[in-house]
Amino acid sequence: MIGNVVNKYEIRALIGYGGVGTVYLAEHPTRGYTAAIKVLRRAFVADEALVADFLDEALAANDLEHPNIVAVMAVGRLGDGLPYIMTELLDGETLGQRLRRQKRLTVRQMIRIVEQTAAALGAAHARGVVHGDLKPENLFLARAPMNGERVKVMDFGIARLRGDRERQIDGRSDIQALGKLMYQMLCGRVPFPAARGSEQVMVSQLLEPPRSLNPDIPPEIEAVILRALAGDPANRFATMAELVAALHEADRGVALAPVLRLFPAAMPLSPANDTPPLAPTTLFRRQGGRWWMVRSPQS
């Protein structure tokens, strides 16, 4: 493939191998623009209808123009008929690579990744697009300005390409998959054994509760993970927005707990003379990463 021209871009180097294809670095010969080109494996192109659905879904995800979804520049076929997808070239590493280096992430790191991933998936679900194959290798942690990091969700429609009909794939399937990632990010291992089976069976085979593997996980956070992993889809969060809201609420509870232990009976100061009474409408406020006691006069 090196030296071939695809969609006016010349393939310059091999980047790596994925589950369904090979990824190359390509560069525009005159403008200097770069791109990544994923060429699908022949094993996945026998069913033309599945390939067409996969390419359509890749374009549908790109139509969202979401900052946390990798931008698809073009789709097409090479001279020998192999389908390809051309995307923006990202600088960074996948979540899978990060976990192989660090094994576990902190709760704060996990929340930042989940927030961005859920935002992308929630936008996709609103347009009827389901990922269906969410895993560490499909989340790219791209370097951003000012030493920041932006999550980029990749490979929408892979489950469709594989003809995965063992389970019903919908938005709540992505929610459970995100729950698996939350577990893996904090515990350093997947929540289920390798044996295949229905989602209900897999959940009944949960290896260990998260806090038994990582005691630093607050129980409030563990509860969110376990709900996302629920075997019955009706018991999971209904939407990505609901999952993130629960995660934020759990995080606030974790942050507030030390303050409540120090001031279990915190009440507003007693009014002096005939000043209007104070109401305990606001006891605590988060500012600058810390919780502060505040008191507001009754309006």
- Assign 156 a pLDDT band (cuts: 50, 70, 90): confident
pLDDT greater than 80 at residue 42: yes
pLDDT for residue 82: 87
**What kind of architecture, by CATH, is found in domain 92-253?**
Orthogonal Bundle (1.10)
pLDDT greater than 80 at residue 29: yes
Q: 4-8, 42-46, 129-133: which has the minimum mean pLDDT? A: 42-46
- Assign 281 a pLDDT band (cuts: 50, 70, 90): very low
> pLDDT over 70 for what percent of the chain?
77
How many H-runs (helices) and E-runs (strands) does the chain carry? 9, 13
pLDDT for residue 138: 93
pTM, two decimal places? 0.79
pLDDT greater than 80 at residue 298: no
What gap in Å lies between CA 236 and CA 143, rounded to an integer?
Answer: 32
pLDDT for residue 26: 96
Evaluate the CA torsion angle 46, 50, 56, 58 in order and state its sign: negative
Q: Average pLDDT, stretch 219-247?
A: 95
pLDDT for residue 286: 52
pLDDT of 86-125, one tens digit each? Answer: 999 999 999 999 999 999 999 999 999 999 999 999 999 9
- CATH class of this structure's domain 5-87: alpha beta
pLDDT for residue 108: 94
pLDDT for residue 102: 94
Q: Which of 75, 179, 163 is nearest to 121 (CA)?
A: 179
Q: 64-68, 88-92, 113-117, 196-200: which has the minimum mean pLDDT? A: 196-200
pLDDT for residue 1: 86
Beta strands in 19-107 (DSSP E): 21-27, 34-40, 72-77, 83-87, 92-94
**What residues are annotated to the active site?**
133
- Assign 211 a pLDDT band (cuts: 50, 70, 90): very high
In total, the chain counts a number of residues equal to: 299
pLDDT greater than 50 at residue 85: yes
Q: 13-27, 90-104, 127-141, 164-178: which has the minimum mean pLDDT? A: 164-178
pLDDT greater than 70 at residue 128: yes
Domains of the chain, by residue range, sit at 5-87, 92-253, 268-297
What gap in Å lies between CA 204 and CA 198, rounded to an integer?
Answer: 10
